[in-house]
Amino acid sequence: MVTATALETELLEIAGAVPDPELPVLSLLELGVLRAVHLRGADAVEVELTPTYTGCPALETMARDIEQALRERGMREVTVRTVLRPAWSTDDITAEGRRKLREFGIAPPRAVREPGPVPLALGPTRTLGADPDPVRCPHCGSADTELLSRFSSTACKALRRCLACREPFDHFKEL
């Protein structure tokens, strides 16, 4: 493993601080899509970025915002490369990112899972009862929630409603 230089670490922090265009409450580092920054010369840098899914419409905006932030730091040449392996998963969202989602009113993805496919269970839309890891309301914390739509404002979120406080909320789906 190659150790990052002090400049690469600084540039990673700058690029990582760029807000996600669809969830501006999260930085790209907190979302886990920024993979690496490599110097390619005194004022040239290559950034590795993994989209949340291959059809992510925000990828172009993320790349443009990273380029702008690094050019403002003095990098003349900025290349943003899309990296698909390893694939991004909701396990890549940092603890800070999960906290920010909750505070923003979005239920974060549930507990980090073992590597491999995420099982899909078709069944009841309510999470109270037998579910050992229910989707909790980010407003009141209740586990008594129901699925209203498998898709919400973006493809990575589902629309749910809390049956305790009656508030609707987005849930960042586990991938």
Q: Could you tell me the CATH number of the domain that includes residue 34?
A: 3.30.300.130
Verify that 71 and 100 share a domain, yes or no: no
The per-residue pLDDT for 175 is: 74
| Mean pLDDT across 54-66 | 91
Buried b (16+ CB within 10 A) or exposed e, 11-22: bbebbbebebbb
| Domain region containing 161 | 94-172
Q: Flag whether pLDDT at 118 surpasses 70.
A: no
Q: Is residue 89 part of a domain?
A: no
Average pLDDT over residues 140-165: 91
Residue 88 lies in a domain: no
In this prediction, residues 136-159 reach a mean pLDDT of 90
For position 37, what pLDDT does the model report? 95
Structural domain tally of the chain? Answer: 2
Q: What is the pTM of this model?
A: 0.80
Model confidence at 159, in pLDDT bands (50, 70, 90)?
A: very high
**Residue 3 pLDDT class (50, 70, 90 cuts):** confident
Q: Does 98 share its domain with 42?
A: no
